[in-house]
Amino acid sequence: MVYLKGETGEKIIQSVSIFPNEKYPFKITGAKTLKDNANISFSLKEESSGGYTIAIENIKKEPGHYFEKIILSTTSPWKPSIGIHVSGNIRKAAASDDPKQR
């Protein structure tokens, strides 16, 4: 589970690393979300180590909660897909104490 927590207007990103087991190697061949990507964006990068890094970013502009799921397609006959659950909790940005920013 990936948790994206923060305030509106704040850049909120979490990364997930995936490393295939030597005994059961696989490649990731695709990635999609189950929903329309209204709350998150993500990028998938293959690393020189043979693993993968997925950077997941909140793109929700208003306060609220959400749940998303990223599905990774693989070449593994044992695990043809990998699911990554994403939970977002975005709070309204706190008012500034600086009178110039009011």
Closest CA to 40 of 75, 16, 24: 16
Residue at 102 is within a domain: no
Domain range spanning residue 70?
Answer: 2-92
89-102 mean pLDDT: 72
Residue 44 · residue 54 · CB < 8 Å: yes
Residue at 50 is within a domain: yes
> What confidence score (pLDDT) does residue 16 get?
97
Residue at 76 is within a domain: yes
Pairing of strands 64-74, 52-58: unpaired
**pTM of the predicted model as reported, rounded to 2 decimal places:** 0.88
Residue at 97 is within a domain: no
CATH assignment of the domain containing 57: 2.60.40.10
Query: pLDDT for 26-61, tens place per residue?
Result: 999 999 998 776 899 999 999 999 999 999 999 999
Counted domains in the chain: 1
Residue at 29 is within a domain: yes
Q: Is 53 exposed, middle or buried (0-12, 13-18, 19+ CB in 10 A)?
A: middle
Query: pLDDT for 60-86, tens place per residue?
Result: 999 999 999 999 999 999 999 999 999
Q: Is 6 exposed, middle or buried (0-12, 13-18, 19+ CB in 10 A)?
A: middle
